[in-house]
Amino acid sequence: MDVIDRLKSLLPPHTAAALEKRRAAVREVRLRAGMPAQLVAFDGDALCSEIISAEKLRNILAALMDFSLYSRENELAQGFFTLSDGSRAGVCGRVSGAGSDGARLTDIGSICVRIARPRQGSADALMSTIDPGDGVRSTLIISPPGMGKTTLLRDVARQLSVRGRNVVVADERHELAACRQGVPTIDVGPRTDVMDGCAKRVAIRLLVRGMAPDVIVTDEIGDAGDAETLADAARCGVAVVASAHARSFDDLIHRPELSSILDKGVFEYVALLAGAPGRISEIRRLGAEGGRTPVWERA
């Protein structure tokens, strides 16, 4: 059962019908206690007619968490949890205490379900750059949120794997492979190993040491420590394909965490998704030395 069918079974009837009607277009379902559901598509959004009560919202949340709140505790502390098909449910509510591992959310009043849509072939346009035949080129994929970075990364992992590369996926948020009991539920290729639910810097270290990969694929880099970990992996001769939030190439080099990763010379190419979800608007090659001001070249 995919996330839309699951939500349909939990939502009031008219809202479920509206969701079914917009099934192909909808990319987010936003639920707020005491408010109607909001269905967000690429071409706009719609508010449904029925109000979602606080109790209904609690029931939906419990069902989405498989009635196992304890198993999502660490994810909830980060403000989201990942569903079994790789879709992500962001939550918002009252923070009753903040520890070192994140906030403790109680009285959750809003849920935003971002629907995962694995699309085989979405990385076709990028593959000749990433894998021209004589080795994998480390590539950073950037875009604003909601432009399909994760979908693209998944397909890059799958295609590299199909081409005979040993791929490892450091899937901190369970979004790339949506593993269930250690087994990916989304096709990420026959030669792909996934370490999920683990901080990227830990996962990458373990994967490089233990799995002898050709390529590391990871999502949403930019935390402190990512630069060093990725540089270590690159020094071990492992190519890195990763994604990061940035609106443009300028935005990328002006963000200190990301520019420090570029400084380390980890990536050879940067691809920008813009204009429409999944659309690669430009690919640039970094200068040979990396450096604080990268030399952009159209690839």
Name the residue nearer to another protein (CB basis): 77 or 252. 77
CB of residue 265 to another protein, shortest distance in Å = 38
- Asked whether the CA dihedral 114, 116, 122, 123 is positive or negative, the reply is positive
The enclosing H or E element of 167 equals strand 167-171
In the chain, where does DSSP find H-type helix? 3-10, 13-21, 54-64, 73-77, 124-130, 149-162, 200-211, 226-235, 249-253, 256-263
Does 100 interact with another protein (rule: CB under 8 A)?
A: no
Closest CA to 168 of 221, 116, 120, 212: 212
Identify the residue among 181, 183, 292, 298 touching another protein (CB under 8 A): 181
Bridge pairing between strands 280-285 and 297-298: antiparallel
Total residues in contact with another protein, by rule CB under 8 A: 11
Name the residue nearer to another protein (CB basis): 43 or 70. 70
Identify the residue among 17, 69, 98, 276 touching another protein (CB under 8 A): 69
Does 5 interact with another protein (rule: CB under 8 A)?
A: no
Closest CA to 230 of 194, 262, 193, 197: 262
Identify the residue among 44, 68, 183, 292 touching another protein (CB under 8 A): 68
Does 292 interact with another protein (rule: CB under 8 A)?
A: no
Does 54 interact with another protein (rule: CB under 8 A)?
A: no
Residues 36 and 58: their CA atoms lie apart, in Å, by: 15
Does 47 interact with another protein (rule: CB under 8 A)?
A: no
* Binding footprint of another protein on the chain (CB under 8 A): 9, 62-63, 66-71, 73, 181
